[in-house]
Structure 1
Amino acid sequence: MFQTIELQQGIHLHIRPTDQFKTVNFSFKFKQKLSNQAASERSVLANVLLHSNELFPSNPAFRSHLDELYGTIMYLDSSKKGSDHSITLLAESVNDQYLTTGGVLDQVINLMQTILFRPNLEQGTFKESIVKREKDSVIQRIESIYDDKTRFAQQRLVELMRPDHPASIGANGTIKDVSAITKESLFNAYKKMLEEDELDIYVVGDVDVEEMTAKLKEAFPFKARAKKQKNIHENIEHPTSQKNNVSEQQEMKQGKLHIGYNTPITFTHPDFPKMQITNGIFGGYPHAKLFLNVREKESMAYYVSSSFSSAYGLLFVLAGIDASKQEKAVRLIDEQLEAMKNGEISKNEIDQTVAMLKNQLKEALDSARGQIEIYDQYKDLDEKFSVDSWVEKWTSVTKDDIQEMAKSINKELVYFLSGKEELSHEGASL
């Protein structure tokens, strides 16, 4: 799918030459060990680098220049995956082949170089006013979680299940850690990113591999960094939960029921494809047991679904319910998993789930960014990724396999967030 070239130790260039798109997509993924401090600093750093640089000190000037480059898209993003935090620089530009005048790709490469190597500095460090502005922006982003009650409830569930663990560390860090950032500490985080982060560079488009490799080598002379151990599978050990049920109240109307489960299956586990099917049948899709039996048949929830967090071996059920229906909803959800443990799984459920997974994968690969994200996720496995190989894995999953996976899923914590008045009126509690 991609041709991989090691530019330096810890720095890999992945190029996919294809005429599938009229654009060329670039993605620089800087990865570092996840922590609250690192996530906080790097979220602010991504904003600072994007919104002001040496050539374009203001964001409007930068955006105007992108428009001049035939509407080139360019932005920085911060995110987390497993135990890593990533800063990603993305760019999408029209291919010179489709223009009467060339040179746009070279200008885009130069602009990415400017963003990474020529930030807007004052006396050798970031400007105080810019740092303060972007700190405020990240703090607002963190605070916005409180207004989205579903996101808030999910964050609280994971914090209760895995405190001080990568699973519960937010991609934007914490308000406390963001507030503590200084222009000097942020500049140190910037230097650490350039000099120490594991770096994967992706290019997708109708390009010449050798020519593009030479251009990127010249424009981005990164130095070698410490070698990172390959992500081989290790059996995960889940801690013993201190609480089984937690209820909290806020000013809100709809109750949020979030249930956390653990499983020994993770992304690198050989049974990962089996767990993907299992989660799909449990609550991952509209044909799943949770949706059909809890929402449609019993009308117990405004919405209900399950998701598998494969990096941590955790599975979650999310449901929007009335507070008075809490106990019955939990019981019905328990019954769906118990049914799977008892082997109540139809061929139609398996076939529909395989079809959904297959369609999702093919849909993701219809875009250049999707191809980059899929390859970045699967490249560390001990096998070459292909659509056919993963479809084969899914289609080979049997009813007995799914039953075995269901038996490995253990309910750990029930978290319920409800309105204060509603809870007092209904008298519902865990």
Structure 2
Amino acid sequence: MFLSTKLAEGVTLHIRQTTQFKTVNFSIKWRRPLTMKDAAERAVLSNVLQHSNGKFKKSAEFRSYLDDLFGTVLYFDASKRGSEHTVVLNVETVNDQYLAQNKVFNEVLDLLNTVIFQPNFENDKFVSSIVEREKEMVIQRIHSIFDDKTRYAQHRLTQIIRPNHPASISANGTIDTVKAVTIDSLTEAYHSMINEDKIDIYVVGDIDVEAVQKKLTEALPFKDRAPKKVERNNVDSKPEKEYTKEQQEMKQGKLHIGYSTPVFFGDEDFPKMQIFNGVFGGYAHSKLFMNVRERESLAYYASSSYSSYYGLVFVVSGIEPANEKKATDVIAEQLEAIKNGEISDLELNQTKAMLTNQLKEALDLARGQIDIYDQYKDLDDQFSVELWKERWDKVTKEDVQKMASQVKLEAIYFLSGKEA
């Protein structure tokens, strides 16, 4: 799918030549082990790097220049995956072959060099006023979770089910760790990211592979590095308690339930767990939706998700507070039904079709191709839709039943209004 080349130790370039798109997409991902301190610094750093640099000191100037490059889109973001924190730079620009003058591609490469290697420094440090402004933006982003009660309930459940664990560490850090960021610590975090992080560079478009490889080698002169190895969930963490109820000013109750599974991303049984989650609550045909919401009318919504990097399955539902006990019981009944082998051909086949279609839809976008390949590239087999469709097609009802038998209830979190 992608042609991969090592540019330096710890730095890999992945190019996909395709006539599928009229744009060229770049994605540069810097990775290191996830810690609360690093997450906070890197979230602020991604904001700072996005809005100004050594050439364009003001955000308005920078945005104006991007507009001049036929509306080139450029943004930084911070995210996490498993025990790893990622700062990503995404760029999408028009392909030169659709322009009268073939010059945008080279100007975008120059811009990549600028935003990465020429930060907006004063006396070899970030500008204090800019850092403080972007710290406040990250703090507002963290605060916003309190206004979205579904996100807040899920956040609280992960804190309860896996305290002091990568699963409960936000990609933005905490308000306190963001407040603790200084121009010195941010400058140090920048140099550490540029010189020490593991880096993957992606390019997708109708391009000359050899020419692009040569140009990127010159535009992005990353040096050799020995990135820190990321361990899979290396923190032993158990739930704080099995049941937690909290109250806020709100009407609809949020019932969130966390389960553990011994199956992680990339394990032999991983495709089977994906099918289990689809049958349990991943889709509109799943047991949770059909029984908790449709049959019993206990929930405004009810679904499950499989967090494969942490070996966790989450159920989320919005209910009337008075229905908490009944909803909890009916959710548990759906898991028991799968454990007992009560799985219809329709549930199984629709789940397989949905997983395959989701994969195909994601690959219709350049960014989807990058993200999926980035996720699957470290597995033993080369990624293809056909390979994963074949793996899902092989999953039997007995396989799904076996996966369900390994799913263990860890914690229940209920958020309700104060009158409940």
TM-score strictly above 0.5: yes
Determine the structure 2 residue equivalent to 1:101. 101
SS of the residue 2:299 aligns to: coil
Q: How do residues 295-314 of structure 1 correspond to structure 2 at under 5 angstroms?
A: 295-314=293-312
Q: Secondary structure at the match of 1:223?
A: coil
Q: More deviation in 234-243 or 52-61?
A: 234-243
- TM-score computed with the length of structure 2 as normaliser: 0.98
Displacement after TM superposition at 1:229 (Å): 5.2
The code of the aligned residue for 1:376 comes to D
* Counterparts in 2 of 1:242 and 1:122: CA distance versus 1, 3 Å: closer
Q: The residue matched to 2:163 in structure 1 has which SS?
A: coil
CA distance in 1 between counterparts of 2:71 and 2:126 reads 28
Other-structure match for 1:351: 349
Contact 1:80-1:171 at 8 Å conserved across structures = yes
Larger CA deviation: 329-338 vs 236-245: 236-245
Deviation of the 1:230 alpha carbon: 8.5
Q: 1: distance between equivalents of 2:15 and 2:372?
A: 14
Q: Relative to 1, partners in 2 of residues 1:335 and 1:23: Cα closer, same or farther, differing over 3 Å?
A: same
Give distance in 2, aligned partners of 1:347 and 1:293: 17
Deviation at 1:241, TM superposition (A): 3.5
The aligned residue for residue 44 of structure 2 is 44
The CA distance in 2 between the partners of 1:416 and 1:367, in whole Å, is 37
- CA deviations on 1:274-331 (whole Å, 9 max, x unpaired) are 0000000000000000000000010000111000000000000000001100000000
Aligned equivalent of 1:380 = 378
When normalised by structure 1's length, the TM-score is 0.96
Give 3-state SS (helix, strand or coil) of 1:302's partner. Answer: strand
Instruction: Indicate the residue corresponding to 1:390 in structure 2.
Output: 388
Does structure 1 retain, via aligned residues, the 8 Å contact 2:196–2:227? no
Name the count of aligned residue pairs: 420
The residue number in structure 2 matching 1:426 is: none
**Deviation for aligned residue 1:59:** 1.1
3-state DSSP of counterpart to 2:245: strand
- CA–CA distance in 2 between the matches of 1:237 and 1:176? 22
Match of 2:255 in 1: 257
Task: Give 5+ residue unaligned stretches, structure 1.
Answer: 424-430
Gapped regions of structure 2 (runs ≥ 5): none
Query: Which residue identity is paired with 1:245?
Result: Y
What stretches of structure 1 move > 2 A for 4+ residues in a row? 227-231, 234-242
* Structure 2 match to 1:290: 288
Q: What percent of counterpart residues are identical?
A: 59
Instruction: Note the C-alpha offset of 1:375.
Output: 0.2
- 1:168-187 residue pairs with structure 2 within 5 A? 168-187=168-187
Aligned-residue RMSD, C-alpha: 1.4
Q: Quickly say closer, same or farther: Cα 1:126–1:160, change in 2 above 3 A.
A: same
- Alpha-carbon separation, structure 2, partners of 1:43 and 1:317: 28
Letter in 1 for 2:135: K
Tell me how far apart the structure 2 counterparts of residues 240 and 6 of structure 1 sit (CA, whole Å).
40
Q: CA deviation at 1:208?
A: 1.1
The Cα shift of 1:405 comes to: 0.3
Residues in 1 aligned to 2:412 and 2:104: alpha-carbon distance in whole angstroms: 54
1:72 matched to which residue of 2? 72
Q: Distance in 1 between matches of 2:401 and 2:291?
A: 19
The question of whether the paired residues in 1 share the 8 Å contact of 2:338 and 2:401 is answered with yes
- Residues 228-283 of structure 1: CA deviation (Å, up to 9, x unaligned): 6598xx79997554421110011111100000000000002110000000000000
Q: Indicate if the aligned counterparts of 2:30 and 2:86 stay in contact, CA closer than 8 A.
A: yes
The equivalences for 1:17-416 within 5 A come to 17-226=17-226, 239-416=237-414
Aligned counterparts of 2:10 and 2:84: Cα–Cα separation in 1: 15
Question: Structure 1 pair 230/41, CA: closer, same or farther in 2 (3 Å)?
Answer: closer
Distance 2:122 2:238 in 1: 51
Measured in 2, the distance between the counterparts of 1:314 and 1:276 equals: 12
What residue identity is the alignment partner of 2:103? Answer: G
Q: Which amino acid in the other structure matches residue 37 of structure 1?
A: K
